[in-house]
Every structure is written in structure tokens, then in C-alpha cells.
Amino acid sequence: MDVTRKVVSHLADSTSRPLTGTGPGPVAQSPPVTLPLRYMAVGLVCFLLFACDLAWQVNRGVLFSPGAPAGVTLTHLLTLGGLMSFVMGAVYQLSTVAFLVPIASVRWARVLFYAHVVGLVGFLASFAAWWPAGIVIFGAWMAAVLYGFCGNMMVSLLRARDRGPMWRFVFFAHLHLALALAAAVTLILGDANLWPAAQAEQMAILATHILLAGGGFFGFLIFGFSYKLVPMFTLSHGYDTRYEQWAFWASLFALYALVVWSWAPSLAIGLVSALGVVAAFLTHALAVRQILKRRVRRRVEAPIRGVLAALALGVLWAMGFAWHVTSFRDAAIWRGLVPFALLGFVSLTVVSLAYKIVPFLAWTRRFAGTKRTGSSVLISHLLDVSSARFVIGGMALGATGVGLGAPFGAAWLCEAGAWMVAASLGVFAFHMSSVFRRAARKEGKV
Amino acid sequence: MIDLREVETRLREVYDPELGLNVIDLGLIYRMEEPEEGRLVIEMTMTTPGCPAHETLIEAVEWAAARAFGVAEVDVRVVWNPPWTPERMSPEARRVLGWM
């Protein structure tokens, strides 16, 4: 009997076409899931510690004196501990998925993880105790670790064939992180009196560090990976990508204009940079809108709504920044802008996406191989993503409260907002830990 | 001789872990052939290039197909052309995703 032409015709639209598959391919390069999960676990612990510290400090005026040791510790607990650790893990996983390239050295990434944890504990403890020698030692340690991370990722990214706007955003994010680290090292050397010239320009260097790390690294990563994650989670196909290109150039222009403005604070440069920031957020919002218009999953899940809420807070930040420029750098407005950017745009995006990424990684770690034993555990069995709406709502409202309370001098609003953020992050940590508890409990069966 | 209807039934047990829909209803299986006795070749795609569940789905399809009577060897090939489109989904899958 001739069996060579037997085809299940209703599965295909062109039955005469010969089989042309190339075998299992594109994402065989993903690193073992334990690598991103470890980084993310450290990030989750730091988010929880940040929530506790924020709740502890909220009545002690920490929101109004961010330059005090308690404020600096709190800020780095969120940025370097929670956000950076989580994002490092996510980048190791997402880059392979988005650009179809392997990580240059998984072994190096594993070694850096332990160095990252040691450096993080030492650096945060040095800040908390305000131990200058410790800040220098562990600051240099953390800089070395993050340079190692940047190098590993940039070498990996350079192997990608498709270098569209998403790639440019992610590649430049790592470049900006390297520059932000250089600014941080300069600051530390200035503070330690090892480089007096740096001390004289402390405020400009600090602004450069914040802009490059916050906007140049976290902001660029969020913009770039949105063009992979939003379509993937909403099953969007065939959408218009022209705004992605515009968003990249507008973002690059805005960031560099802001850095110039921090060194040469004239109204003209400030207005140009404000225009760039507004253009960057609006073109990015248009790019995301194009994706959502062509989505197959009509019901937008809570985590994606969280990403959109974070983007809305980012747009508010951009408009507030324009206000800040035209009001001649009113310090009160600036204090309100930081929570919009850090707690609203960056943290809310990361927390929202964590509701999709962490359960997937936990599922892969626990159940990916158990299909062979007949397991039918789905990712939704590990976590109901709709539960994210309380955390997302709390964080969005909290960030707005802190952000609006500062410029209008409403301390009660700031404190209420901070409490909401702390409580939301506490619930977030509980949700994420429950993912691992459920994964461990299910033992491959529903 | 492999009963491809049985293979299809087996593949209905393979779920996309994120969407909770099986690979047949999602329209991910393009073709199935038995080019030689006992050897099954499956041509499938993913909803997006770089789908994180790529390897898992391939393994699951291999395992499920191998359980069908007469299958001695399974060769799963992933293709990107033609790309997956929502039109390939079954009415049931479209209804679940709210696409109808």
C-alpha cells in the first residue's frame, strides 16, 4: 500500500505542498528556567522588603527627604534590589524569546547571580548603616556585577539577525545602564573624596545617573519588550509597526536632551527635552494601540491592563515634566514626578508583567516535562491572573496619590498613597509565592 | 498503518499552557503524513515565533502522537510559512478567546 500520500487534508490549506519543516528550532536557546527564576526570586524578596520599609518609614518623612540615608536605602531597595534583580532575570529569558539568540554565557550569568546577591546585601546594608567605606566597596562590587551583566547581554544581542526597533530599544538600554553605572561610580568616588572634581558636579552627575538608569535602562527595556510581550499575551498579528520606529528615535532624543539639560539647565533645552519626552510616550502609546487593535484575545487580561495603566501614568509623568520645566524646576513638582515614573510607570509595568512571566517560568520548571505522564496542569492553575487587578489598582492609585500629594503639599495624600503601594506590593509578593507553593503541591496532576 | 484520525484525537489532549486550548483547535497542526510504514511526520507552527512554550509543545505533540496505534516514530517539524493566523482556529477556540 502506498502510504506516502496520506494526509489529513482538513488540517491544511494546501495539501499538495511537500513537507518542508526544519525541525525543532528557534527557542532551543532559552537558558534553564532556574536562571531567570533565581534573579526574580531575589527581586521578589526585595519588593517585599521595600514594601515593609516603605510602610515603616512612611510616617517618618522619608517621602519628603529622599536624599537622607533612609530615603537612599529605600530607593535602592526598590531600584537595585526589586526592579533590577527582577529585570535581570526577565531579560535573560525574554531576550532569547524576542531575538531568537542564546545568552552568550549562561555560566557567567550563574556566577554573576551569586556575586549580585552578595553585592546587593552589602550595598544596601552599607546604605542603611551609612557606612561610607562599605558604600565604596560594595558600590564598586555592584558596578562590576552589572557591567558583567551588560557585557553578557550586549554580546548576546549582537548575535541577533533582526535588529528592528525592539532590538534597538533593548540594546541601547544596556548601553545606557553601562553609562549610568559610570555616573554612579563617579558619584561614589566624589562622595569618598577620591575624586574632588566629581564632588563639585554632584547634582548633575546624580541627575545623569537617575536619567540613564531610570529612563535609559528601565524605560527603554519596557518600551522595547512591550513590542514582544503585548502581542504575545494578546495574540496580536499583522499590526502596523511604524510607530515603534518613531517611539525609538523620540525616546533616544528625549533621553539625551534630558541629560544635556541636567548639565546645562536652560529653559530652551528643558522645553525641547519635555517635547521629546511627551513625543516618546505618545508614539509608544500609539504603537501599543496598533497592537491591541489587531488582538485575537478580545478580553484584555488584568496584567495587560496593568501595563496600560502604567503607560497612562508614564504619559502623566511626561506632561508633569513639561509643567516642571515651564515652572522653572519647581522642586515640589519634581518630588511628585519621581513616584509617577518609578512607582507608576516602571514598577507597575514590572509587577503587571510578573503575573504572566513568573507563573510561566514556574510552570515550565515544574510541569514542562510532565506532559509525558499525562499531566494537564495549565498556567492558569498556578495563578488566577485576574487577582492581579487588586494589586495593579492599588499600585496605580498609590503612585498617583504619592505623585499628586508632593506638588500640592498634601502629606496625608502622600502617606495614603505610600500605604497603598506598600500593601499592594505585599499582596503581590504573596501571589508570587503562592505560584511556587501551588507548583510544588500539584505534583504534576490537577 | 497509522490512523491519522486517532492521532488527531490524541493531539486534542495537548494544550497550550498559556491559552488553555488544544493544538488542534488552535490550528497549530498544519499537516500529518505517514511517508513510510510506522513513521509519522507532523508539520506544525506556533502562534508567534519565539513562543516560550515552543519546546514544551513539540515534546507534548511527539509524546501524544506516539501513543496512537501503529506509530513507531514521530518527527515533528516546526514551520513558519505560512504563518499562523487566527482564521486557522476552530469556532470553539474563537469563541473561547472572544474572537467571534
Q: What confidence tens digit (pLDDT) does each residue in A243-271 have?
A: 999 999 999 999 999 999 989 888 899 89
d(CA A306, CA A182): 33
Q: What percent of chain A has pLDDT over 90?
A: 51
Q: Per-residue DSSP letters for A7-72? A: B-GGG-S-TTSPP----S-GGGGPPPTHHHHHHHHHHHHHHHHHHHHHHHHGGGTGGG-TTSHHHH
pLDDT band at A33 (very low <50, low <70, confident <90, very high): confident
User: Smallest CA–CA separation between A419 and chain B, in Å?
Assistant: 33
- Chain A residue numbers touching B31 (CB-CB < 8 A): 7-8, 11-12, 15, 17, 19
Residue given cell 536632551 in the structure block: A257
Answer whether A351's CB lies under 8 Å from A428's CB.
yes
pLDDT at A10 over 60: no
Cell of A438: 501551588
Q: Which residue has the higher pLDDT, A366 or A234?
A: A234
Exposure of A363 in the CB half-sphere (CA atoms within 13 A): 24
Instruction: In whole angstroms, give the CA distance from residue A32 to residue A93.
Output: 9
Burial of A164 (0-12, 13-18, 19+ CB in 10 A): middle
Asked if B60's CB is within 8 angstroms of A232's CB, the reply is: no
DSSP for A234-291, please give it.
HTB-S---HHHHHHHHHHHHHHHHHHHHHHS--HHHHHHHHHHHHHHHHHHHHHHHHH
Q: What is the pLDDT of residues B13-37, one digit of tens each?
A: 888 888 888 999 999 999 998 888 8
Among the partner residues B20, B49, B77, nearest to A21 by beta-carbon distance: B77
Per the model's pLDDT, the better-predicted residue between A69 and B7 turns out to be: B7
Element (H, E) at A422: helix A411-442
CB-neighbour burial class of residue A328 (10 A; exposed 0-12, middle 13-18, buried 19+): exposed
- Are B19 and A378 in contact by the 8 Å Cβ rule? The answer is no
* Radius of gyration of the CA atoms of chain B, in A: 13
Interface test mutation site (partner B, options A9, A14, A16, A27, max chain B beta carbons within 10 A): A27
- Interface contact flag, A7 B31, Cβ < 8 Å: yes
Domains and CATH numbers, chain B: 4-96 (3.30.300.130)
Chain A to chain B Cβ contacts (< 8 Å): 148
pTM of the model: 0.87
* pLDDT reading at A443 higher than 60: no
Q: How far is A38 from chain B (nearest CA, A)?
A: 18
3 state SS of B48 = coil
> B72 vs A295, B34, B61, CA distance in Å?
40, 11, 14
d(CA A210, CA A216): 9
The residues in B 59-78 lying below 8 A from A, measured between CB atoms, are 59-60, 63-64, 75-78
pLDDT at A28: 52
Q: Does the pLDDT value for residue A165 go beyond 90?
A: yes
Find the mean pLDDT for residues A228-233.
90
Q: Which among A215, A241, A212 has a CA at the least distance from the CA of A228? A: A241
β pairing state of B29-36 and B39-44: antiparallel
CB contact under 8 A, B1 and A27: no
CB within 8 Å: A297 and B99: yes
Check CB contact under 8 Å for B18 and A30: no
Cα gap A169→A180, rounded to integer Å: 16
- The closest of A375, A130, A310, A162 to B59, measured between CA atoms, is A375
Could B32 and A296 be called an inter-chain contact, meaning their C-beta atoms sit closer than 8 Å? no
Q: Give the rounded percent of residues in chain B with a pLDDT score beyond 70.
A: 98
In chain B, what residues touch A238 (CB-CB under 8 Å)? Answer: 85
Q: What pLDDT score does A63 carry?
A: 63
A301 vs A356: CA distance, rounded Å: 10
Chain A hits for B22, Cβ within 8 Å: none
Where are chain A's structural domains? Answer: 332-368+378-446
Q: Distance (Å) from the C-alpha of residue A228 to the closest C-alpha of chain B?
A: 10
Greater confidence, A154 or A360? A154
The reported pLDDT for the residue numbered A237 is 82
Cell of A138: 560594595
Cα angle B38, B42, B48 (rounded to 5 degrees) comes to 165
pLDDT at A29: 65
Please report the ipTM that was assigned to this predicted complex. 0.78
pLDDT value of residue A188: 84
Residue B93 one-letter amino acid? A
Confidence of residue A3 (pLDDT cuts 50, 70, 90): very low
